[in-house]
Amino acid sequence: MFFGEYSHSLDTKGRLIIPSKFREELGDVFFVTQGLDDCLYIFSEEKWEKLLQSLQELPMASKEARKISRRLISRAAQLEPDKMGRVLIPAGLRTTVGLDKDVTVVGSIDKLEIWDKTKWEEVIDLDEEHIDMCAEELMKAGIKF
């Protein structure tokens, strides 16, 4: 399970050091793709395979299913960390979500999210404004905390 947030920087080649705590759980090979909220998702190989299987089970007659499947799969790349724990984030993905230098790596239960640091701070600030409403929705869904 992934949790916590870490501030890191991309080097001039677009490489990112994956925090060691996360590398252990990700394994030697993992996958990156464009996420849903202007961030990147990183999945372990096992979770990626489960996601692919779930996508294959979607009804391809559904336009929405085709769109989300295309987005996740077409922008995906396999990553293998070097000896220093760095991975090269593909330039197209960096550009698409606006990653430049300073990033925040966020644990999100079954995946990692890679955010531009400024965007992440904006998301967190915005979420604070609506946290009570979100908590009510979670409680309606049966989640208690």
Q: Which residue matches tokens 């960390």?
A: 81
The model carries a pTM of 0.88
* Helix (DSSP H) and strand (DSSP E) numbers for the chain: 6, 8
> Is 129 within a domain?
no
CATH number of 59's domain: 3.40.1550.20
> Is 135 within a domain?
no
Most confident of 13-22, 52-61, 119-128: 13-22
> Is 121 within a domain?
no
> Is 84 within a domain?
yes
Of the candidates 99, 72, 109, which has an alpha carbon nearest to the alpha carbon of residue 16?
A: 99
CA distance 75 to 73: 6
Could you report the per-residue pLDDT of 76-105, keeping only the tens digit for each? 999 999 999 999 999 999 999 999 999 999
Please give the residue range of the domain that contains residue 35: 5-116
Domain count of the fold of the chain = 1
> Is 139 within a domain?
no
> Is 24 within a domain?
yes
Q: Are strands 111-116 and 86-88 parallel, antiparallel or unpaired?
A: unpaired
Could you report the per-residue pLDDT of 25-47, keeping only the tens digit for each? 999 999 999 999 999 999 999 99
73 phi and psi angles, rounded to 5 deg: -80, -45
144 pLDDT exceeds 90? Answer: no
Q: What is the pLDDT of residue 91?
A: 97
Q: Are strands 111-116 and 40-44 parallel, antiparallel or unpaired?
A: antiparallel
- As a whole number, mean pLDDT of residues 44-72 equals 93
Q: What is the pLDDT of residue 145?
A: 72
Q: What is the pLDDT of residue 126?
A: 63
Out of 72-76, 103-107, 108-112, 135-139, which region has the weakest mean confidence (pLDDT)? Answer: 135-139
> Is 87 within a domain?
yes
Could you report the per-residue pLDDT of 121-131, keeping only the tens digit for each? 988 886 666 77
> Is 130 within a domain?
no
